[in-house]
Structure 1
């Protein structure tokens, strides 16, 4: 066993009016079910990161872990929760995916493997900047979890602030591979293009 994945669903979904954004329907399946269906074949195990009443996800049949850093510390706190679960279950690597991105590549985990930097992040092309990191999609060594915990406790909240300091590689994917749904308009676009 080497890789497990955490689905990051711990955000507050403010731009969608709150609630569990992953429960929104896209065609015949919820966003989160689409994410589960895409990541499960790519890794040895999948865990969900969420906050609040975790029993609301019992129907998904996945382990659910909450942030251990208080006050909605952002995706890095979810990554840490995933790392802690991975360490407890003997995994060396953690793949992270977001619950609001229903069409990420089916070979994501494979393409993030085999680089010599500690952290490997997905990126998309940009005509002006070259690459734009998609920092909630990455491969992380579980061995860095105590370092990440210390950084979070010291106030670090930006993923790239931490990954740049540790050493990162950006792997280029397609322009629309990480289209995420933040607004009702995004969901409407996805209905037209992703179903």
Structure 2
């Protein structure tokens, strides 16, 4: 399968974490950003970070910084769009996105998303919750460059819920088990951060 670039979505305002850069929060001595880079980087043909604000604060990661191209923080779809524009500039056919608050993202994410893509080339990750119900994780997905203008029009029109757009184009679904750790566990609160510390000990490595 063709190699694709990856974008780490870090454009949120981390309000439930008290603000600041969520990706700089530490789990067992490594930041959320470092953990996502370590897992996603080897799967991709280059990485970039979608984030807003002063770019110098993230310069240490040595990755391109992609701010939202649509004002007023319209949500993660704006980050996906920024990633698609970057991928298009690189001549890529698609881009993979991962949220910075998913520190255990699978090491086979890209290959399995590609294998599960729908007719339009879209795919989202999914895993079972504690109740056993399979839930999609729409910030972890494969996005075709061919649909970027459709997405731009949708975001500019006020669409904020990712699955409303991906369902329109028949996104495929790649599923992972949630044991021993849900690979899409996401860190939104200080309590989640403490739980991630516990889960990191189970996994034993970044």
| TM-score, normalised by the number of residues in structure 1 | 0.96
Alignment of 1:1-195 (within 5 A): 2-114=3-115, 115-118=117-120, 119-126=122-129, 130-175=133-178, 176-195=182-201
- Root-mean-square deviation (Å): 1.4
Cα offset for 1:77? Answer: 0.1
Q: Whole-Å Cα distance in 2 between the matches of residues 66 and 137 of structure 1?
A: 18
Unaligned runs of 5+ in 1: none
Q: Which stretch shows the higher mean deviation, 169-178 or 90-99?
A: 169-178
Return the structure number with greater strand share: 1
Contact 1:26–1:187 (CA under 8 A) maintained in structure 2: yes
Q: Whole-Å Cα distance in 2 between the matches of residues 130 and 181 of structure 1?
A: 20
SS of 1:170's equivalent in the other structure is strand
Unaligned runs of 5+ in 2: 202-206
Contact 1:2–1:92 (CA under 8 A) maintained in structure 2: no
Contact 1:2–1:93 (CA under 8 A) maintained in structure 2: no
Cα offset for 1:122? Answer: 0.4
SS of 1:152's equivalent in the other structure is helix
User: Would you say how many aligned residue pairs link Structure 1 and Structure 2?
Assistant: 195
Deviations 1:79-113 (A, max 9, x none): 00000011001111110101011111100001111
Q: Whole-Å Cα distance in 2 between the matches of residues 129 and 35 of structure 1?
A: 25
Q: Which stretch shows the higher mean deviation, 68-77 or 114-123?
A: 114-123
Q: Whole-Å Cα distance in 1 between the matches of residues 132 and 196 of structure 2?
A: 25
Q: Whole-Å Cα distance in 2 between the matches of residues 23 and 8 of structure 1?
A: 13
